[in-house]
Amino acid sequence: MEGFDILSLLIILVAAWAGGALFKRIGYPAIMGELLVGILIGPALLGLLESSETINILSETGIIMLMAYIGMEIHFKDLGKASWAGLLAAVGGFVVPFALGYYVISATGGTPLAGFFVGIAVGVTSLATKSRILVDLNLLDTRIAYVLMAGALISDSFALIIFAGISSFIDAGSVNTSEIAIVAGKVLLFFAVTSALGLFVLPKLGKLLTNNKIKNRTFHFTLLLIIVFGFAELAEMAGLHSILGAFMAGLFVKDNVFDRQVTKDITGIFHDVSIGFMAPIFFVSAGFHVTLDVFQTDLNLMLLILGVAFAGKILGTVLFYLPSGNGWREGLAVGTGMNGRGAVEIIIAGIGLQYGIISQELFSILVFMAILTTLSVPLLLTWTTNWLKKRGELVKQYSKEGYLILGANPLALFIAKHLGEKNKVRLIDTNKVAVIQARKLGFECIHGNALDESIQGEAEAGNFKAFIALTGNSEINLLASRIANDVFYVPEKYVVIAANQDGVGVNLLHSISASTLFAGTANIEPWIRKIQNDEYDQKTEIVNNKISTRNWLKEKKKNGNPVLPLIIMDGENNKRPFHYDDVIDSLEKVIYIE
C-alpha cells in the first residue's frame, strides 16, 4: 500500500485498541496485543497494511514520547527499598543473557554490532509491566516486589547506557583510539548538559511559572513537548539516539518543573497521547516488519535465542542473587519475574533493524522472544511464589508501613487511636472541621477529596501498606480505594460497605483485592453518633479456638445485641483492622463496641 491515508491510520488505531484491550483484559501488557495485531494485519499474514514514510515518522515520534513517559514514571527513591538485592538481580539478569545473546550471534556468523543489539534485547527487563503484574498477583507487600522493581530499573538503565555507547559508533565507522575518545567525550558531554539542564535550569523555569501563576494546561503541555523533543535533539547532536534524550527529559520533568496539580494534569494528557495514540502506531507498525519465514528458515536460531533469553535471565539472576543471602529459591522467583521483555526491547530491536544492523528475520525472532517471555511471567511467577508460600519463605517487605484512613469522623478516629499505638497513621477528610479536630487530637490529617489523585499523593499514599475507606458512602469508599490500588499500589485495602448497598461494587472489591471492613456490611452513622455521645461500651474478648472473622461475627449476632468489631490484637499487642478475609488465631483478642 503506497503512501498513507486516513483509512490506514484508522485501521492501525482500531487494531491497536482492540488488541491492547484484549490482552489487558486477560492480564498482559497492551503492547503484546498491539504487536500481534500488527503481525496479523501486516505483510506477514493478511497484508492489509505495510510501512510507509508517514507511518515511520509517526512511529519515531511515538517512541520518543513513550520513552519520555517511561522516564516520568521512574522514581529513583524506589531503588533504596531493595538496592543491594535489586542490583544483584539486575546484574545477573542482564549480564548473563547479554553475554549469551552476543555469543549466539557471533557463533552463527553475525556481526559484533548485531551481537550487541541482540544481547541488549535479551538482557532488558520490562519495567512498565511489572507493577501491574505484582498488583494482580497480590505481591506488592513482598520483598520480591521491591527487588523486581529495583532490578528492572537498573537493568533497563544498563541497557540504555550500553545502547548509548553502541549508537555512538554506528555512524563513526571506526574504532581507533582517537575516535573512541571523541565518542566518549560526546556521550559524557550529553549527560553533563542534560543533567545540568534538568537539575538547575528546569527547576528555575518551574519556579518562574509558579510565581507568575501560569496554570494554562495547554501551555504546559506544549512546553513539555518542547523539553522532550529538545532533549531528544541534544541526543542526536551527540551522536546518540533520540530515545535517550527523551528518557532523560522524562526523568527530570517529573518533579522539577511543574507544581503537583499541573504535573498530574499534563502527565495524564501525555499518557493518553503517547500510550493511547502515538506509541501504538509504533508497536503495530513494528509487527509489519515481522516475517513468519523464521519458523521455516531460522527456527533453530529462534529456539536458541529463546532458550538463551529464558535460561540466561532466570539462571543468571539465581546465580548472582546468592550473595544477597535471600536464598536461591527467592532468586528463582525474582528471575521468573524479570523474564518479561517489553517496550525498551522492541524499541532497541526496531532501531537495530532501521540501521540495518540486524536483519528482518532476526528482528522477527526478537519480537517473538519478547512476546513469549512476557507471556510466561504471570505463570512462572505464580508458581514460584506459591512454592515460597508453602515453604514459609515468601518474605514481607515493610518499606510500606502504616494506615492511610479515609474519613476523620469519630469512628475513624477511634480506630486510628488503636492502630496508631504501633503504626503510622494518617487521615484524609473533606470536612475542614473534622480535619481540625483530628489534628487537635494529634493525628496527621490531610484536608481534601481522596477521589483526587493529587490529594492521595499529598498524603503519600504510596508509602502506606493499607488504605482504610471509612466513610458512610460506599461508592466513595470504593472509588477512593481503586485510586489507592491502581495509582499508588497500596497492598491492603479495607472498605466500609453500607448495609443497604449490599450489591454496590462487589465486583470492584475483588478487582482491587479489597476486603470488607468489619467483616460485613455496616451502617456506620449510628456508631459514629454513639462514639460522639459516649454511648457505647468497648469490650475485649479472647478467642479460645481459631475462627474466621465472618464466623465470629455471626456468633455474636446470635445474641441479638448489635456489635461492631474493630480490631484484632495478637499476643504481642500488635493490632490490625477486623475485616472479612481474616482468621483470628487462638488466644488473639477482638476489640469491639456495642
Half-sphere exposure of 204 (CA within 13 A, CB side): 5
| Encoded amino acid at 52, one letter | S
Q: What is the mean pLDDT of residues 108-127?
A: 85
Residue-level pLDDT at 500 = 67
Kindly tell me if the per-residue pLDDT of 501 is higher than 70: no
Distance from chain centroid for Cα 265 = 19
Residue-level pLDDT at 41 = 93
Number of domains in the chain: 2
* 505 — pLDDT class (breaks 50, 70, 90): low
The pTM (predicted TM-score) of the whole model is: 0.66
Kindly tell me if the per-residue pLDDT of 562 is higher than 70: yes
Residue-level pLDDT at 87 = 82
Last residue of a domain, one of 369, 390, 411: 390
**Which cell goes with 520?**
460485613
Last residue of a domain, one of 336, 366, 390: 390
Q: Read off the pLDDT of residues 125-165 as tens digits, 9 standing for 90 and up.
A: 875 455 556 656 667 667 887 788 777 767 777 777 777 77
Residue-level pLDDT at 308 = 93
**123 found inside a domain:** yes
What secondary structure does DSSP assign to 195-245, as a single string? HHIIIIIHHHHHHHHHHTT---HHHHHHHHHHHHHHHHHHHHHTTS-HHHH
> Is residue 278 domain-shared with residue 422, that is, in the same domain?
no
> Is residue 382 domain-shared with residue 407, that is, in the same domain?
no
What secondary structure does DSSP assign to 37-60, as a single string? HHHHHSTTTT-S----HHHHHHHH
**395 found inside a domain:** no
Kindly tell me if the per-residue pLDDT of 502 is higher than 60: no
> Is residue 386 domain-shared with residue 412, that is, in the same domain?
no
* 4 — pLDDT class (breaks 50, 70, 90): low
**83 found inside a domain:** yes
> Is residue 352 domain-shared with residue 276, that is, in the same domain?
yes
Q: What is the mean pLDDT of residues 518-531?
A: 90
Average pLDDT over the chain, rounded to whole? 83
> Is residue 350 domain-shared with residue 433, that is, in the same domain?
no
16-36 in b/e burial notation, b at 16+ Cβ within 10 A?
bbebbeebeeeebbbbbbbbb
Q: Read off the pLDDT of residues 304-339 as tens digits, 9 standing for 90 and up.
A: 999 999 999 999 999 999 998 888 999 999 999 888
> Is residue 430 domain-shared with residue 556, that is, in the same domain?
yes
**502 found inside a domain:** yes
- Which is higher by pLDDT, 371 or 186? 371
| Paired strand residues for 427 | 405, 445
**424 found inside a domain:** yes
> Is residue 120 domain-shared with residue 151, that is, in the same domain?
yes
Q: What is the mean pLDDT of residues 362-381?
A: 86
> Is residue 384 domain-shared with residue 410, that is, in the same domain?
no
> Is residue 373 domain-shared with residue 422, that is, in the same domain?
no
Kindly tell me if the per-residue pLDDT of 241 is higher than 80: no
Kindly tell me if the per-residue pLDDT of 170 is higher than 80: no
> Is residue 504 domain-shared with residue 566, that is, in the same domain?
yes
Q: What is the mean pLDDT of residues 538-551?
A: 91
Q: Read off the pLDDT of residues 20-35 as tens digits, 9 standing for 90 and up.
A: 888 877 767 778 888 8
**Which cell goes with 311?**
535460561
422-428 long-range contacts, CB within 8 A, separation 24+: 422/573, 422/574, 422/575, 423/575, 424/464, 426/402, 426/459, 426/460, 426/464, 428/404, 428/455, 428/456, 428/459
3-state DSSP assignment of residue 425:
strand
**550 found inside a domain:** yes
**% the chain with pLDDT above 90:** 29
Kindly tell me if the per-residue pLDDT of 379 is higher than 50: yes
Residue-level pLDDT at 340 = 79
Q: What is the mean pLDDT of residues 273-291?
A: 86
What secondary structure does DSSP assign to 354-414, as a single string? HTTSS-HHHHHHHHHHHHHHHHHHHHHHHHHHHHHHHTT---B-TTS-SEEEE--SHHHHH
**397 found inside a domain:** no
Instruction: Tell me the residue range of the domain where 460 lies.
Output: 403-593
CA torsion sign for 198, 200, 205, 211 is: positive
> Is residue 140 domain-shared with residue 203, that is, in the same domain?
yes
Last residue of a domain, one of 342, 368, 390: 390
> Is residue 434 domain-shared with residue 519, that is, in the same domain?
yes
Residue-level pLDDT at 1 = 43
* CATH at residue 22: 1.20.1530.20
Kindly tell me if the per-residue pLDDT of 534 is higher than 60: yes
Q: Read off the pLDDT of residues 34-53 as tens digits, 9 standing for 90 and up.
A: 889 999 999 989 998 888 88
* 2 — pLDDT class (breaks 50, 70, 90): very low
Q: Read off the pLDDT of residues 411-427 as tens digits, 9 standing for 90 and up.
A: 999 999 999 998 899 99
Q: Read off the pLDDT of residues 452-474 as tens digits, 9 standing for 90 and up.
A: 888 998 898 888 889 999 998 88
Residue-level pLDDT at 132 = 55
**199 found inside a domain:** yes
* CATH at residue 469: 3.40.50.720
